[in-house]
Structures are given as C-alpha cells and as structure tokens.
Structure 1
Amino acid sequence: MIASSVTACQSPGSAVPIGMTVHYRGADASSLDDQFDAMAAMGITWVRVDVDWSVIEPVQNQLNWTPTDQLVDRALAHRMRVLLVLAYSPSWTTGTAGANRARPDDPAAFANFTRVAAQRYAARGVHHWEIWNEPNTGKFWPPAPDVAEYGRLFRGASAAVREVDPRATVLIGGLSPTYGEPSPDVDPATYLGRLYDDGAAQMADGIAVHPYTFPSLPTDRTQRTTGGLPDLPALHALMTERGDGAKKVWITEYGAPTGTGPSAVSEPDQAATLLQARRQVHAWDWAGPLIYYELVDGGTDPAEIEDNFGVLRTDNSLKLAAVALIDTAAGVMGAG
C-alpha cells in the first residue's frame, strides 16, 4: 500500500528513459537472470556497467572480460541499451599497490585499453561511453582533482573510442556534487567551466552528472549538496553559454541509501526520491536518461551507506522503491 501510494502521488511522465547501474558481484547465472527480469518489470531501458580496468587486467596482458560480458550480454538480450563506464587503473599502471581508483600515470596506456574495450563492445552493438567516474572528487581522482590531467585522459580515451566506433556517444565522466565540508572536491559547475577552458568539454557528446540530494528529497527547498538535482538547470545554462546547449545532461547516477547509516533514508523515502527525480527530469528537454544507483545492495551492513543504495536487497528481494518502479511501469495507480 505504501508503494502504491508513492507511485500514485509521484507518478512521472512515461517518456523519461530510465536506467540502472548494475555491478557484477559474483552472482550466479540464475540470480543475474532474476535481476534482469526485475529490471524489465521496472521498465528499465538503460543499463550502466563498469568497464573496470583494474578488474579486467589486474596483471599486464592477462585480460578477463567475463564479468563485464555477463552484464552486457544480458542487457542486450533484454533489449536494453548499455552505457559503459571506463575507469580505474590496475596497480601496475600507477606504481601504487591497491590504488585502483588512481588515474593511470600514462594516459596513453588508458587509451590503449579503451581502444581494446571499444573494439569488443562496439561489435556487440554498444555505442555509449562515460569516461571515468567522478573526476571532480579526491576520492576518484586522488589526491585532488586536476582538470588538465583529466582533460588529457579524456582526449586520449575519446579519440580511441571514436577511432573504433564513429557512431559512439562519449560523455564527460559523471560529476559528483560537493557537500560543503573541507575537501579537495570541486563542485560540478566550477569543474565543468574549467574543462571548457581546457578545451576538453567541447569534445564530449554530453555531460554526465551524479546529482545526489539524499537525505533530502529532490524537491526539498533545502539541500545539503552543491551540484545536486536542483542545480542542473544552472549547469545546463553554463553549457549553453559555452555553445553546447544542444548537448544533453546525462544523469548517470542518482539514488538514496536505506539502512541506518549517516544520511540514510527510509524505504518509502527512497521510493519517493527516485520517482520525484523522474518527474523533474521529464520536464527538462535537455536532460538525457535518468540512471538510478543502483540495482542491488552492495552488501548487508545496514550502517554502511555504500551497502544500501540498491532497490533490491542482496537476496534479490524487492525494496519499496523496486515495487514502486514496477507499479509505475505497469500503470498501477493507488488512492494517493
């Protein structure tokens, strides 16, 4: 009843293409099939998958594509479009053991890996790429964001993709909001402006963003983030000022964690967060797909935020957000 009420009160326009970030965490074939069947029931039309260099080639010249293939092939079998995220670096490229988030010392090495990945997946019919994950943060571009370094990485990787696949759509890697506390992170608008000054942003086919707002709902007047969902019109205005108003803003991660951790939300609020965001994005003709983060919980510790973003639990049981998405896709309307 709660999920039906959320669906009724927040029912979004059906034209918004929605997607889901999916991670391979060792699930067996039957479990993966159940996950993709659940996404089909939710009306998911996009799947976002990591092409994690550190996992695929942990030892130089020894590549294992199986985990990525399993997700990509299932998505295509379900007639879902695929966005691949090229990111992370094996320790042998960085000289820092265990630091798979570090950018590679040599952008040319990353471009070479990108070329191999593009050859593999373009042949399967995959043509959409996001270059790196949250390069405007110290977490994913340690120790601190560096626009010039990322610009070099993006130029090399995007050229490698397009060399293989002239049909490719290549996105600036998803920019994360900042939270106000002291950190090396740079808010998305400032970072994007610097990327335009660098000349890299103009080379992209679109900009990817991760405009989280939790624990606030996307429509709340008070937000704890800079660069969250309510700030996206200003980000697109910046793109327009720089001559890129025709390009889309892709929302490649958006969600909220349940559980008991800091900033966690209730299951009804998680459902409302996803559906309110969809309604808002539907009103923006410059916004691309809305891809939720994520399909399945990353773990089972209720106090760990990163374990609880899923709309499915680790046993594939449905949270209220999944039920609300299924009901919305099926046109189920409650009393509200």
Structure 2
Amino acid sequence: MCGLCAAVGLAYPANPQNAQPLDQRFLLGVGTHQGLGGVTSARGYVPATAIKQMNELGVTSFRDDFPWSDFELPGKRLGFNALNGRLETQIRSSAGIPLLILGTGHHLVPNSDPPTTDEARQRFVTYAAAAAQAVEARQPIFELWNEYNLRARADPQFTVDNYVTLARSVRPAVKQAAPSAPFVVGALGDDPGWKWTDALLKTDLPRIADGMSIHIYNHCLPPVGRTATEAIERLENFHQRVAQATGNPNYPIYLTETGWPTPSAKCGVNEQLSADNMAQIILWASTAGPWLKGIWLYELKDSGTKAGELEDNFGIYHFDNSPKPAVCSIRESWAFIRTSLKATRTTPMPGLVQIRSESGSETKVALWSEIPSKRFEVRLKNAEPNAEISYVCQQAPGPASGAWTALSTTPLLVSVKGSAVPEFEIRPSN
C-alpha cells in the first residue's frame, strides 16, 4: 500500500501577489446579453432576473455588449435609450463591475464594420467617449471589439493594422472620459499557432493599452481535451507570449470568455463536467500571479432552447432560468477561495491537482483529478480535529477525517483552522 501512496509536503512558497485577498485583486465575472436584441431579448435576458442570479453566484463583474448602433441614434443623438435600456439597468445595479465591449459597426455610417476611414473612426471615437462618460461612475472596464481576429477569416478589412489604428484613436478619448477605466484590447478568439496574437504583439498596441484579453474554449477538441487543465495551459502560454513581447511578466491579462456548453451535439460536455471545469478554473485562479486580472464565464443563461444547438447551451442557468449544476459549483468554489491571500498549485501525482491556499488563520486545500477517466483516493495523513472535508456541492455529510476518500473531477475541499497544516496520502484507484 505504501508504494502507492504519495505524501504531500508541508512547505510551499508564498506567491508575491498576496497583499490582498483574491476577490480584491481579481474579478470573477459572467457574460450576459442585455446589450443585444433591443427592448425585449430573444435570448431571454431580463435585468432583474440576471441581477438576482449574479448575486446568487457571488460574482463581482459582468461582461456585455455596448453596441454603437444602439447608443448613437439617427441625428447623431448619443445616449441610453429604449434600445439599450436593459443594459443601462444592469450597469446601474449592484451586480458588479461592468466590462463593456465597444464595438460593432453602425448601419448609418459607411465603412464602419470595421471602421477603416478617418470619418468612420472619428464617429466611433465620438461614440466610445460618450459611452465611457455615461458609465464612468460604475468603475467600468472597456474592451475594444469582440473577436476581431475571427472576422478576419472572411473579411479582408479586419486587419491587424486597422485594429491598431482604431485603438490608437479610441484610447485617448475613452481615458479622458473615464480616466480610471482600464482600456483592454485583443478580445482574441481562437488563434491557431498564435499568428494573429504575435502580429498584434509586434506593434505598439500593448504599450497603448492597459491590458490584453483572450477567449479560450475547448469544447470541440477530442473529449480528453475538453478540460479546465487544457484551458489553463493555453492561458499560461498566452501569458508567456505577452510577457516576452512586453518585457513585463505582470502585464495585465483578462480572460473575458471561457466556458463549456452542454448541448446534445458532438461538441460540448455534460452538465456535471461543465460544472467541474468551472470550479477547477476558479480554484486555480488563486494561484495565478498579478498578471491575471479576471475570468468571465460564458454565459449566465442559455440563449435558446434547442438541445442540439451549440450556441443555445453555454448557460450556467438553463433558458428558463432553472439552475444547472454549474450554479452551485461556481458559488461554492468561489466562496471557498475568494479570501485566499496566497496559493500554490502542485501535482502530487500525475493527473492530480492540488491547490493549497492560506486565508488568515485558516489553511485550505482543493484536490481533483484533471482527467475525467482517472480516479484517485485521498486521506489526511494525521487526524485533524479542526478539519472540514467536503466535495463541491455535496448534499450528504462530508467524508470522515482519516478515511480514504474518492477523488474525481469534482474538487474535494479541505479546510483546517489554526496553525495545523494538512498533509495527505494519495493513491490511484483505477
């Protein structure tokens, strides 16, 4: 038996980002769709319901569209109106810090999708400045466009040069209107080989901006790759590229979309694995350095009712607002880790992840299998009377201290109060 056991060491290094609790230096958000669709949302988004759901989750931010075509009405009238009233309601609520996407063309402005002429760019700048001023009091974050690089696959106007030229024009106006609001660029969709990313990093755009954003999905990879681990590895790769290009290992990075849809189609995962993946990436976030400014899970609720339609099934809640397992998983994993002052990630055995964090007078440990088909068992090496052990969202009483406990992709959470540091034995079980 001892040959199968792995003892986890007591000591671990302090992470230098730890001057504040995690929830004061990192945003956990969700994607919403109040800014699209006009007065009534075909996706089923209602501000009062969304605000209640975000409060239930405990998230600290939301990301939404702030479309130019709805904010600038005919006659160049700029401001909130009936078309974007749902978005205004959510922004002015206590639902969290708004991360707002400045983008999409305007049907009354030639050459505006994307802006490629001086006239179109100036109209866009005027809109962006007015939009920033309208929400400045809510401590917003602004993101320039959404997955601009994906549009480049079909439209030759979506070039790196056009994006950088637009950013150079927009940033000064936005910063003048909302000086403390970060101006984030990129919003990069899937970028095989990092070709678009590297081209962007060779420009002066990182110096112009306050951070870069990226979207990471893996739901259409072979099933073994549809995991939080794969998403984290790609995010860390992106971080390394940005750090090398800027010479700044702490250059701000925002993961503004990630998630695991649950359709009855070939792309996607089941609802429990989607929930487990979200819990894992939230727990892992406590170990990232100050470069990671936030993660926005996509999206708050399903946007449709077709079981086999991929885009209908990204929600944390179903279309009818009933909860998926992810609701509890996000809420409990975030509540467990949000007070973390410092944390580290280790792999006591291949395929097994351990997150160890300190929260004042309490030590917390989360463990899980990063491979859905791989199982382990774990137990506390020494009896700890102050230990609390449970699975994320487990309804039954937690496993007893000292007993062998099964480990799967659902994180196991261990809290020990006082000065004792939990030490574990781990063995594979399949």
Which stretch shifts more, 52-61 or 168-177? 52-61
For 2:124, which of 79, 100, 110 is the aligned residue?
110
1:246 aligns with 2:250: yes
**Any conservation in 2 of the 1:20–1:291 contact (CA below 8 Å)?**
yes
Partner SS for 1:173: strand
Pairwise CA distance, 1:144: 6.5
Structure having greater relative contact order (Cα 8 Å, sep ≥ 6) = 1
**Any conservation in 1 of the 2:328–2:393 contact (CA below 8 Å)?**
no
TM-score by length of 1: 0.80
**Structure 1 partner of 2:215:** 210
**Structure 1 partner of 2:237:** 234
**Structure 2 partner of 1:32:** 47
1:47 aligns with 2:62: yes
Partner SS for 2:64: strand
How many residues of Structure 1 are paired with residues of Structure 2 in the alignment? 304
Once residues 75 and 67 of structure 2 are traced to their aligned partners in structure 1, the CA distance between those partners, rounded to angstroms, is 14
Which AA in structure 2 matches 1:23? H
TM-score by length of 2: 0.64
**Any conservation in 1 of the 2:216–2:257 contact (CA below 8 Å)?**
yes
Partner SS for 2:86: helix
For 1:270, which of 252, 269, 274 is the aligned residue?
274
**Any conservation in 1 of the 2:215–2:255 contact (CA below 8 Å)?**
yes
Pairwise CA distance, 1:208: 0.6
Once residues 157 and 141 of structure 1 are traced to their aligned partners in structure 2, the CA distance between those partners, rounded to angstroms, is 25
Partner SS for 1:174: strand
Partner SS for 2:172: helix
**Any conservation in 2 of the 1:210–1:254 contact (CA below 8 Å)?**
yes
Distance 1:177 1:115, change over 3 A: same
1:61-94 residue CA offsets vs partner (Å, 9 max, x unmatched): 2556245453344354325111111010122224
1:306 aligns with 2:316: no
For 1:283, which of 260, 272, 287 is the aligned residue?
287
Partner SS for 2:202: helix
More strand as a share of residues? 2
Which AA in structure 2 matches 1:315? D
**Structure 2 partner of 1:4:** none
Once residues 203 and 130 of structure 2 are traced to their aligned partners in structure 1, the CA distance between those partners, rounded to angstroms, is 27
1:247-280 residue CA offsets vs partner (Å, 9 max, x unmatched): 2210111112112234122111211221122223
Structure 2 unaligned spans of 5+: 1-20, 337-391, 399-411, 413-430
Structure with greater Cα Rg: 2
Pairwise CA distance, 1:190: 3.0
RMSD: 2.9
Pairwise CA distance, 1:317: 1.4
Structure 1 unaligned spans of 5+: 1-12, 181-186
Once residues 137 and 253 of structure 1 are traced to their aligned partners in structure 2, the CA distance between those partners, rounded to angstroms, is 14
